[in-house]
């Protein structure tokens, strides 16, 4: 007896941008309803495909998406714990690379919709991607306690809240297994008793002027990198040095990144981007999640 015909699952792609690895799901007709458990399973490197985040790509012309996006695609960004995220700079860079390579978008600057608003990304011929993020707003001082040691820092808004802590201690050796305790009273603009969704980073300024950044994200832990946090770190270092604009280079496991900041101008994050694999998900496996 012939086996029943099973509709194929969605197309996926895996790749990296600016030091972070991502899983992309192509869902042009907005048919997938991904639970938090499904996202966790997909991002699991052992039971699923693995990824520092998942981005579901939906065509914006359906009219069911937030705001009035300028581009043809909306990126539904999910952290690996399954929770929705406002945006993800490196993730958008990989989306731009994938869409242009798959002839789903014209080469050059691409507008992409996110929960934080529209963003642009540009892919050059050499495979490096530049993502335009919101202007970095330096808010004020704060602090965090980690394993009994207090680190003074500065809060920054880049679509989400960041606490950047420059330190003389070598950041690769910091023990981030203990949950950091934030100084909530020092966060400008936060109210109530709820813990703000803050991404924490520790930063070394190297003799060359480059930055070395160690990241801790709420509920996620220690990703190898985080493009938006790298931009926040560059903003704090430049602000401390009395500079309001300029380019800062940052070390990354995948190669050097650069962050360009300007007065009332988008924050530009540039780094290497590549697609490692493409395929089709098993529809029955996905449905079982």
Residue of 126, 76, 79, 69 lying closest to 223 (CA atoms): 79
In a domain, residue 240? The reply is yes
Same domain for 130 and 70:
yes
- For residue 6, is it within any domain? no
Residue 16: Cβ within 10 Å count = 25
Per-residue pLDDT band for 179 (boundaries 50, 70, 90) equals: confident
Mind listing the pLDDT tens digit for each residue in 132-156?
A: 888 899 998 988 888 788 899 999 9
Q: What is the mean pLDDT of the chain?
A: 84
| CA distances for 228 relative to 7, 8, 99, angstroms | 37, 35, 21
- Residue 3 domain-assigned (yes or no): no
Q: What is the pTM of this model?
A: 0.80
Do 141 and 105 fall into the same domain?
no
Helix segments in 119-186, DSSP class H: none
- Please give the Cα distance from 248 to 270 (Å, whole number): 11
**pLDDT of 86 above 60:** yes
In this structure, the answer to whether residues 164 and 98 fall within a common structural domain is no
- Give the active site residues: 88, 226
Residue 60 lies in a domain: yes
Phi, psi of 203 (to 5 degrees): -130, 130
pLDDT for residue 193 is more than 50? no
Q: Read off the pLDDT of residues 128-138 as tens digits, 9 standing for 90 and up.
A: 899 988 889 99
Q: Are residues 97 and 202 in the same domain?
A: no
For residues 68 and 17, state if they share a domain.
yes
- Residue-number span of the structural domain to which 243 is assigned: 137-265
Judge if 130 and 142 occupy the same domain: no
Lowest mean per-residue pLDDT among 68-77, 114-123, 280-289:
68-77
Q: What angle do CA 78, 81, 82 make, to 5 degrees?
A: 45
- Looking at the domain assignment, is residue 206 inside a domain? yes
**Of the ranges 3-12, 30-39, 106-115, 246-255, which is most confident?**
30-39
Kindly indicate the confidence band of residue 191, based on its pLDDT and cuts at 50, 70 and 90: very low
The CATH number assigned to the domain holding 255 equals: 3.10.310.10
Number of domains comprising the chain? 2
């Amino acid at each position: 007896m012939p086996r029943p015909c099973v509709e194929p699952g969605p197309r996926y792609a895996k790749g990296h941008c600016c030091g972070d690895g991502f899983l992309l799901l192509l869902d042009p007709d907005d048919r997938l309803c991904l639970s938090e458990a499904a996202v966790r399973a997909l991002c699991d490197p052992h039971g699923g495909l693995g990824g520092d985040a998942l981005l579901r790509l939906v065509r914006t012309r359906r009219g069911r998406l937030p705001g009035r996006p300028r581009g043809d695609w909306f990126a539904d960004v999910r952290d690996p714990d399954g929770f929705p995220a406002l945006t993800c700079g490196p993730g958008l860079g990989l989306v731009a690379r994938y869409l242009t390579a798959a002839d789903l978008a014209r080469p050059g600057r691409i507008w992409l919709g996110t929960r934080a608003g529209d963003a642009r990304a540009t892919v050059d011929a050499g495979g490096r991607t530049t993502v335009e993020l919101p202007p970095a707003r330096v808010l004020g001082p704060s602090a965090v306690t980690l394993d009994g040691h207090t680190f003074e820092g500065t809060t920054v808004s880049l679509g989400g809240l960041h606490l950047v802590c420059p330190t003389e201690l070598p950041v690769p050796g910091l023990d981030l297994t203990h949950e950091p305790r934030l100084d909530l009273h020092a966060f400008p603009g936060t109210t109530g008793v709820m813990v703000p969704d803050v991404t924490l980073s520790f930063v070394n300024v190297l003799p060359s002027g480059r930055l070395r950044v160690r990241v801790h994200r709420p509920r996620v832990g220690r990703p190898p990198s985080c493009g938006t946090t790298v931009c926040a770190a560059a903003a704090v270092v430049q602000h401390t040095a009395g500079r309001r604009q300029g380019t800062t280079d940052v070390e990354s496991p995948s190669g050097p990144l650069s962050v360009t900041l300007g007065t009332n101008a988008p924050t530009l994050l540039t780094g290497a981007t590549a697609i490692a694999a493409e395929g089709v998900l098993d529809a029955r496996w996905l449905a079982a999640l």
